[in-house]
Chain A
Amino acid sequence: MTVRRSTGFLVFLLGCVLVMGGLFVVHPLIGGEEYARGLERRRQLVRDLGLTDLCLFTEARYTRHLSQADLHSAFQDHPMALEHFPSGSLVLPPPHLLEGGP
């Protein structure tokens, strides 16, 4: 007679819970110190260089420095120009420009 099906499933589920516990709870604890050092390095650089933005999208000026862009910088070349960089559809304009806006 093989293993009872519910036993098999519960063992599978227990395995999943253990893996999830290992990943979601234990793994973030490992290397926490190293991460903190890395973060401090990054913050120091940001402080020294006076950086304002993440270097995530380098394709256009208004995506490279999101927080420094104008509300309509995507359309700078012409007000009717279609904004055509993929990241433009991924991110929003700076919210402080949208507040009280049109």
Chain B
Amino acid sequence: MIRLASITKTFNAGQPNEFQALKGIDLEVALDAVSVFAGPSGSGKTTLLSLLGCMSRPTSGRIWLEGREITSLPERFAVRIRRETFGFIFQNYNLVKGITVLENTMLPAYPTGVSHRSVRDRALSLLEGLGIASKAGQHVENLSGGEQQRVAIARALINDPAIIIADEPTAHLDSSLARRLLEIFGGFRREGKTILIACHDPLIIESPVVDRVVFMRDGRIVPHDH
């Protein structure tokens, strides 16, 4: 369970372009479930995801991850929690160009000090499971959008995180690829992983894989989108 209490997040505080992205969020997110944060762009869902994933700190309020307060941890511990607990799939994939699919997949494991061989084997089996093992030696920029996303997914899973965070995962996919992605997420769900998704794609919101949809607007949680 992740619990958020009166979370606010202000960007550029004190400056003319000050912007309050989150305005008091109280929320409990169940683990072992697929939760979707839905809302138009600018509603604060991506900001919320980055707070949940220990990527940034709230301006005020607190977050507990399985009873442990994570908002006031020093950077070193926050990074470790992030690395061990969360896997990120970014909207633009954010793969490192010029290096191979396999290396991209292994990147989050580099600072962990886990042996190269076991990381490589795990990366290869993840790529295998996602059907792109044959591309392991290719540079990422030569891949199609769908393939790149699968590399991003494999990379998110390399440290075997309990929680996967995906930001607009279907933004660059056509419907059939989006459905395939949902199948993959369904598989993770069956493995007992928690999935947090930010998106406003009806295909995902209405999917049976999703356990819960949280609607957001203007930095607040709203009962329904419509």
Task: Please give the residue numbers on chain A whose beta carbons come within 8 Å of chain B beta carbons, in ascending order.
Answer: 1, 4
Contacts and interface: CB of A to CB of B under 8 A. Distances in A.
Contacts of B120: 1
Contacts, number: 3
B224 interface: no
Nearest to A7: B116
Interface in B202-220: none
Nearest 3 pairs of A and B residues by beta carbon: A4-B116, A1-B120, A1-B137
A4 B116 CA distance: 9
Contacts of A4: 116
A4 B100 CA distance: 13
B105 to A, nearest CB: 13
Sort chain B's interface into a size bin: under 10
Main secondary structure of the interface of A (DSSP, over half): loop
Nearest to A5: B103
Nearest to B137: A1
Contacts of A1: 120, 137
A4 B120 CA distance: 11
B138 to A, nearest CB: 13
Contacts of B137: 1
B99 to A, nearest CB: 10
B126 to A, nearest CB: 16
Interface string B95-138: 00000000000000000000010001000000000000000010
Nearest to A6: B116
A98 to B, nearest CB: 58
3 contacts: A1-B120, A1-B137, A4-B116
A11 to B, nearest CB: 15
A1 B137 CA distance: 8
Nearest to B117: A4
B137 to A, nearest CB: 8
Contacts of B116: 4
